[in-house]
Amino acid sequence: MKTGVIVYVAGKEGLNYEADLEEAGKRLNIEADRIEVVSSMDENFDLMHAWWFLTIKGMKKIVCMTAEVVNHSQLELTGREMRLCG
């Protein structure tokens, strides 16, 4: 079963301009076939869009994990997660 993970970046602290959400998400070392990173600051790509994107890419199990920005340059998982489907 293909697994997709949505990393939802919560909190008020933002990343530096040099840091990229996708790159920061890859450094989390999450075992999944596909990872999408979303934040409340991105008005064009939200949790629902990420879920839909993973669904049409064939992911049968989709989990949402929450992360926070640390030191304006990296993401850290909070330990909270919920299964969205599968």
Displacement of CA 51 from its chain's centroid (Å)? 10
Residues 8-67 pLDDT 10s: 988 766 665 445 777 777 788 899 999 998 887 776 678 899 999 999 999 999 999 999
Question: Which pTM value belongs to this model?
Answer: 0.83
The Cα–Cα gap between 78 and 13 comes to: 14
Domain that holds residue 30: 3-85
Position 17 scores a pLDDT of 47
Count of structural domains within the chain: 1
Amino acid of residue 80: R
